[in-house]
Amino acid sequence: AAPPPSSPGEPAPPPPPLQYSLLLQHLVGDKRQPRVWDPAALGGIPCPPKSEEQKMVERVMESCPFKAALACVGGFVLGGAFGIFTAGIDTNVGFDPKDPYRTPTAKEVLKDMGQRGISYAKNFAIVGAMFSCTECMVESYRGKSDWKNSVISGCITGGAIGFRAGLKAGVIGCGGFAAFSAAVDYYLR
């Protein structure tokens, strides 16, 4: 029942009590109006315009040669560390196959560790540069940045490395490197 109309001199009657369920529908339910946060409404986040030097540095850092060089250096460092690590846990480092009973000197062991580290470093650097360069070129060609780029470039890189040993090895290298690239891309994204 609606309250009777009040006369001009009387105070307005109090509004009916708000039910808790109606309040919840407006706060939590499907009648809730989500607020859109727009930074431009608050004046925006101040960001000065980029200078020509900053734009040039961004272009260089996003270029394929820079990415390939960065992957080459990173592969060299990682490969060197991996090579030294594997040489450190190998029990045959420094041993002479002609005289297996002679104990190697520390100098011989360190020399073999260094040679293995350099060998691994070179290989990792070449693979890293090949993969990074092909991924950048595939991404530039496709115009998209998604998981397919790493799979395609992994197939190209693995195939090129394996092809030196024959067609079958190239196909296996393509599939293996593509699968590895897909797995790494899946876990990193």
- Confirm whether 175 is domain-assigned: yes
What pLDDT is stored for residue 44 in this prediction? Answer: 65
Domain boundary among 144, 162, 179: 144
Q: What's the structural domain count of the chain?
A: 2
What does the alpha-carbon distance between residue 12 and residue 21 come to, in Å, rounded to a whole number?
26
In a domain, 128, yes or no: yes
Q: Which letter does DSSP use for residue 29 in this model?
A: S
Do 77 and 133 sit in the same domain of this protein? yes
Whether 19 is covered by a domain: the verdict is no
Tokens of 157: 């890189």
Query: What is the Cβ-side half-sphere exposure of residue 116, based on CA atoms within 13 angstroms?
Result: 19
Q: Are residues 183 and 161 in the same domain?
A: yes
> What is the distance, to the nearest Å, from the Cα of residue 69 to the centroid of all Cα atoms in its chain?
17
Q: How far apart are the C-alpha atoms of 142 and 145, rounded to whole Å?
A: 8
**35 domain-assigned:** no
Range of the domain at 175: 146-188
Residue ranges in the chain assigned as alpha helix (H): 20-27, 52-61, 64-89, 106-142, 147-162, 167-188
Q: Return d(Cα 68, Cα 130) in angstroms, integer.
A: 7
**Burial class for 164, CB neighbours closer than 10 Å (0-12, 13-18, 19+):** exposed
Task: Supply the pLDDT for residue 4.
Answer: 59
- For residue 25, is it within any domain? no
Taking only the tens of pLDDT, the chain with its 189 residues reads 555 555 666 777 777 666 777 777 777 766 777 666 666 666 667 678 889 999 999 999 989 999 999 999 999 999 999 999 998 888 887 777 788 788 888 888 888 899 999 999 999 999 999 999 999 999 999 988 888 999 999 999 999 999 999 999 999 999 999 999 999 988 887
